[in-house]
Amino acid sequence: MKIALDFYRRPDPVQVAHDLLGKYVYTNINGVLTGGRIVETEAYAHINDQACHSHLGRYTARTQIMYEPGGVAYVYLVYGRYALFNIITNEAGKADAVLIRGIEPTVGIPEMLLRRGVTEVKRNLTGGPGLLTQALGISTQHYGTDLTGTTIWLEDQQEPVAEDLILASPRVGIDYAGDDAALPWRFRIKGSKWTSPAR
DNA sequence: ACATTGATCCGCT
DNA sequence: GCGGATCAATGTA
């Protein structure tokens, strides 16, 4: 089942990030299907969260898509090298987002190896936010893509993740956010070898 | 128009 | 465990 808009438009991005674990993300780019199971996410909120690009109503050329109704892709370049794939959540004007940080590859593995320029199926194929975008072929040209369309979409395969397998911890790489960096808004499936290295 | 800064990854120690 | 790559977006003037 493709995930419908009401899933993304719920008001709490932390809940959406939590619920995305165990779901599947697919891309069909240049006619090639690739995809995998989501094992790591992070939530960003537009209020009371200095780490979020839209915090306190910042509205710029980069962040304008965040103010759309939930269910579109927010892709941006970080450190001049890596595209990061976010899902916009909540209703129009409430610019929340969930960053997809890690997936377990399931479909189109040969193509993903090719795109990543590696030969082994191990963590550095899709385990990390800048890596899974390369593997899935997601780039900044997918900024604003409708996630209920046929280029990038998510599916619920009815494989819920047991609550005691979900690890909530502080987000990484956002020291500039002050106290908000301590919020436990990073979700991982315990024991998955496809998440970012432990910290 | 210019200077600063990252929601990261990789290679070397 | 640490530092460098590398550049678009953002803030400041």
3-class secondary-structure state, position A126: helix
Question: Is the distance between the Cβ of A79 and the closest atom of strand C smaller than 7 Å?
Answer: yes
Question: Is the distance between the Cβ of A67 and the closest atom of strand C smaller than 7 Å?
Answer: no
Q: Which positions of strand B lie within 7 Å of protein CB atoms?
A: 5-10
- From the list A152, A153, A35, the residue with the least C-alpha distance to A105 is A35
pLDDT digits (tens, 9 = 90+) for A63-115: 999 999 999 999 999 999 999 999 999 999 999 999 999 999 999 999 999 99
CA A177 → C1' B3, Å? 21
Domains defined along chain A, listed by start: 5-189 (3.10.300.10)
pLDDT digits (tens, 9 = 90+) for A139-187: 999 999 999 999 999 999 999 999 999 999 999 999 899 999 999 999 9
The residue with tokens 């193509």 is: A111
